[in-house]
Amino acid sequence: MKIGISCYPTYGGSGAVATELGLELAERGHEIHFISYAQPFRLDGFRERVYFHEVEMDQYPLFEHPPYSLALAVAMHEVASHYDLDVVHVHYAIPHATSAWIARQMMNGLKGPRVVTTLHGTDITLTGQHPSFHSITRFSIRRSDGLTAVSQFLRMETERNFGVEEGRIRVIPNFIDTDRYRRQDKPCHRATLAPGGEKIVMHISNFRPVKRVEDVVEVFARIRDRVPARLVLVGDGPDRPRAQQRAESLEVADHVLFLGKHTSVDELLACADLFLLPSESESFGLAALEAMACGVPVVASRVGGLPEVVVDGEAGALLEVGDVEGMAEAAVQILGDDDRWAEVSRAARTLAVDRFDARKIVPVYEAFYREVVEGTVSAPGAISGEDPVLPAGGVTMARGTTSDEEDS
């Protein structure tokens, strides 16, 4: 099968999953064409049956913001026509689903490739809810030939907020390569990260308010009162200065390491003893899954799709948003008892392998593609009279404006 994939190429969950899916599909014999404004960050080196098509954007003084969604639609049309694509799989609704629909119309609709849209999180819970984008998001997802969401939570949110009929959205969870994300046979940097032999507490995110990075520091300060530990923060974003200030005010700055963005997070997670994710909202929690696959217990918020990934009491602990005392207590109980830590570590790894291994999830996508191409999935929802033919609001959204697409 020939499959086009469009995603945000930046450091985010949706782009990471989209890229890994394409690479896995190529390994299984499919021809994959990535279409985006830059090469996805996890698309490194030459891979057989994998192609990248950069969306060309010319600067023109008339446009205050370059109309990326239209340029993307043209690129999708050209690639689909030239390579005779069977499916265009877009990740994150805005603007990718809209551009795919436009490209399909340029090919007289039914003659073009089928469009599959995967919803990842803030495209539904944040960006799509904004008045400027709600109508176009609703239109685009309802016009997709196939819809998937990364969690039951996100499926229900989409049905509730965008009028998608029950049964239209297939839940296909995120996945990882559990051979890559594992504790064994990985170079470990413990001597550098924790030179005093302390326990390593880790957090990976885009450092935005929804991730509550200051809570990470608060929880860590309470952990350190009882267990010798170091906090390793991976990523970057607008809340990094606040996290640094909080570490200084709590007098733990000397025990907090800010590493910035890293592509090889599997190597870092292989050294961790505990993963903190006290987010205000998570549609799935890919970072938590990556930690679990490395045998790292997770202490996180009981929100969104996280309970579908982290089994409370087995792979770690889930507590209410903002409960820094409870999270610290749960962390100390795990870190302070070697037998308990080993038990939770094994359970976390087992859950990741049994439920979210790429070898189990990617075939589900393959089967879904076949259903879409053969026309055996539920038909696209009827467009009611309240849906404009060409919804206003955000059609020419500039690239890079959805900075929270990594909510997956």
Q: Are residues 138 and 215 in the same domain?
A: no
C-alpha distances in angstroms, 181 versus 239, 345, 357? 27, 13, 10
Q: Which two tokens stand for residue 325?
A: 């005392």
> Quick one: pLDDT at residue 185?
61
User: What's the pLDDT score for residue 133?
Assistant: 86
Structure tokens at 80: 């689909």
Q: Are residues 6 and 116 in the same domain?
A: yes
In which residue are the tokens 């993307």 written? 72
Q: Do 366 and 305 fall within a single domain?
A: no
Are residues 343 and 240 both part of a single domain? yes
Statement to judge: residues 321 and 385 lie in one domain = no
Q: What is the pLDDT of residue 392?
A: 34
Is residue 142 situated within a structural domain?
A: yes
The whole-angstrom separation of Cα 294 and Cα 299 is 15
Q: Are residues 378 and 313 in the same domain?
A: no
Choose the final residue of a domain: 318, 336, 356. Answer: 356
CB atoms within 10 A of CB 12: 26
Cβ atoms 289, 173 nearer than 8 A: no
Which uninterrupted H or E stretch holds 49? none
Q: Quick check: 398 and 1 in contact, CB under 8 A?
A: no
Domain's final residue, options 331, 356, 381: 356
Amino acid at 282: E
Is residue 231 in some structural domain? yes
DSSP result, 359-387: HHHHHHHHHHHHHHHHT-SPPPPPPPTTS
Exposure string (b/e) for 302-327, b if CB count within 10 Å is 16 or more? Answer: ebbbbbbbbbeeebbbbbeeebbeeb
Give the per-residue pLDDT at 42. Answer: 74
In a domain, 80, yes or no: yes
Q: In the structure encoding, which two tokens stand for residue 344, read together?
A: 């939770």
Spans of the chain, pLDDT less than 50: 379-406
Q: Number of folded domains in the chain?
A: 2
Same domain (yes/no): 136, 264 = no
- pLDDT tens-digit readout, 326-359: 999 999 999 999 999 999 999 999 999 999 999 9
Whether residue 147 is found in the same domain as residue 229: no
123, part of any domain = yes
Residue 128 lies in a domain: yes
The answer to whether residue 247 is domain-embedded is yes
Domain shared by 112 and 74, yes or no: yes
Same domain? 346 vs 397 = no
Nearest Cα neighbor of 204 from 255, 130, 113, 267 is 267
Residue 185 maps to a domain:
no
Residue ranges making up the domain that contains 115:
2-175+358-407
Q: Are residues 371 and 345 in the same domain?
A: no
CATH number at 299 reads 3.40.50.2000
> Is 181 a member of any domain?
no
Same domain for 235 and 262?
A: yes
